[in-house]
Amino acid sequence: MNPKITGVGPNTFYNTTSVGISGTSGVVILQKVLIPAGTYTNGDLLIAQALFEKIGSAGTFTYRLWASPNDPTGSGLTGAIQILVRATSSGNLYIDMGGRHLYIKNASGGGSGIELGTEASDPLTGLFSEMRSSVASNLAINWNADVWIFASGQLASTADRLNHLYLKIWEY
Amino acid sequence: MIRKANGQNLRITANAQVGSTFACASETILGSVTLPPDFLSSGAIITVRNSCTKSSTSSPFTYKLYFNTTANITGALQLGTFSAGVGDFSPNIYRRFVFTNTTTARGLASTFSTSNDVGDVVGATVATFTFTNWLVGGGVFFVTGFRGSGTDTLQLINISLEV
């Protein structure tokens, strides 16, 4: 008999409690997940996904994905390492992060990740994703300590609203 | 069934219709995958994917993804659609949904024609899908095809539900 499951495996972390932006054009901390110390190690391949809902087409939306040793609820972006940044067009109301891979080369902070930079449109698929060579970078994330993975968002117009619907990190 | 993939449980199911060929002169069910009762709980994030092969280049097809208590178009909840052109030999639908409670899920709007929901697209919106008790009672995800013209046929290659 299958146990009731929530869409998670042993090394999957997710947040499906919607977080919104309304009435501000400032940077807002959105959903977060805590990866306990030692969960991932050298050689693990992770993927991060997120879905955003934008209401209104008055301005653009910029989101970022971060890794931090600190809970962003108290610390904000202090000490956080940017994993990606993406600015969407004003008319983009369905915003899927598409997926960002992190390959852990050195779990103690010596290097994780594939790309860092503004995502670009793939010439073959037309999708905005990491499947496009841009700026390769190693991210100094120490997976041997607690790691908070979280998103931040910024609306260009206060006439728009935004909901962050889910953030999911898993290993495969 | 449950597969073990690098230490992580991955659940995939598919039904027995896979491999059949359909003319789709009217909207026809191509294949389905069963969501067992009480299998998922609120907060689950699922992926439904499937693909077909088209016999030739004479026909466009309208391709739709539904959910219902049984594989029946009547009363089904449409979850997605894709208008495959005559040159689309391998039409497919790839959709992800997050269940916000036992009756409601969020995902790409069902009437927006696209094969996959990856990335962001101007004109597409996030929709709310409501089906009474679908996590507790379970049901069936299924895809249909409808031939616009010509004589091509469709064959379902796979359909799966992943969490």
Q: Do A5 and B126 touch (CB under 8 A)?
A: no
8 Å CB contact of A16 and B100: yes
Count of residues for chain B? 163
Q: Which residue has the higher pLDDT, B18 or A13?
A: A13
In 3-state terms chain B splits into helix, strand, coil percentages (rounded to 5) of 0, 50, 45
Burial of B135 (0-12, 13-18, 19+ CB in 10 A): buried
Residue A110 pLDDT more than 70? no
**Measuring CA to CA, how many Å separate A157 from each of A21, A94, A152, B78?**
11, 17, 16, 33
- In the chain, the amino acid numbered A63 is Y
- pLDDT over 80 at B12, yes or no: no
For residues A11 and B128, the model is more confident at B128
Element (H, E) at A64: strand A61-68
Distance separating alpha carbons of residues B100 and B37, to the nearest angstrom: 17
Min distance A125 CA to chain B CA atoms (Å): 10
Average pLDDT for A158-162: 98
Q: How far is B145 from chain A (nearest CA, A)?
A: 24
Query: Residue B2 above 50 pLDDT?
Result: no
How buried is B28 (Cβ within 10 angstroms: 0-12 exposed, 13-18 middle, 19+ buried)?
middle
Asked if B95 contacts B64 with a C-beta cutoff of 8 angstroms, the reply is no
Mutation for testing the B interface, residue in A18, A51, A62 having most B CBs under 10 Å: A51
**Both structure tokens of B114:** 């696209």
How far apart, in whole angstroms, are the C-alpha atoms of residue B155 and residue B140? 19
In this structure, how many other beta carbons lie within 10 angstroms of the beta carbon of residue A136?
A: 10
What 3-state DSSP class applies to A34? strand
* CB within 8 Å: B40 and A171: no
DSSP class of residue B136? H
Contact flag A53-B125 (C-beta cutoff 8 Å): yes
* Closest chain B C-alpha to A154 CA, distance in angstroms: 16
Write down the pLDDT at residue B11: 55
pLDDT at residue A116, rounded to an integer: 43
Report yes or no: B143 at the A interface, CB cutoff 8 Å: no
For B78-113, the pLDDT digits (tens) are: 999 999 999 999 899 999 999 988 899 999 999 999
Question: SS3 for A138?
Answer: coil
* Distance linking the first and last C-alpha atoms of chain A: 24
B contacts of A171 (beta carbons < 8 Å)? 6-8
Cα gap B142→B79, rounded to integer Å = 10
Phi, psi of A73 (to 5 degrees): -65, -35
CA A116/CA A101 separation, integer angstroms: 11
Q: Which pLDDT value is given to residue B46?
A: 86
Contact B120 A128 (CB under 8 A): yes
Please give the average per-residue pLDDT across B28-52, as a whole number: 87
Question: How many A/B residue pairs have CB atoms within 8 Å?
Answer: 104
Pairing of strands B8-11, B2-5: antiparallel
How, if at all, do strands B61-68 and B77-84 pair?
A: antiparallel
Instruction: Give me the mean pLDDT over the B28-50 stretch.
Output: 86
The answer, yes or no, to whether residue A122 has pLDDT greater than 60, is no
> CB under 8 Å to B32, separation ≥6 — which residues?
B15, B17, B71, B140, B141, B142, B143, B159
pLDDT at position A126 over 70 = no
User: Regarding the domain delimited by B2-162, which CATH topology (the fold level of the hierarchy) does it fall under?
Assistant: Jelly Rolls (2.60.120)
Question: Is A43 in the B-facing interface, judged by CB distances under 8 Å?
Answer: no
**Contact at 8 Å (CB) between A105 and A127?**
no
Whether residue B28 is predicted with pLDDT greater than 70 in this model: the reply is yes
Of A94, A165, A170, the CB nearest to B121: A94
Does the structure show a pLDDT above 50 at B8? no
Instruction: Identify the weakest region by mean pLDDT among A5-19, A141-155, B147-161.
Output: A5-19
Q: Output the six-digit token pair for A168.
A: 């999911």
Residue A103 at interface with chain B, using a CB cutoff of 8 Å: no
- Condensed to tens digits (0 to 9), the pLDDT of residues A44-57 reads 878 888 999 999 99
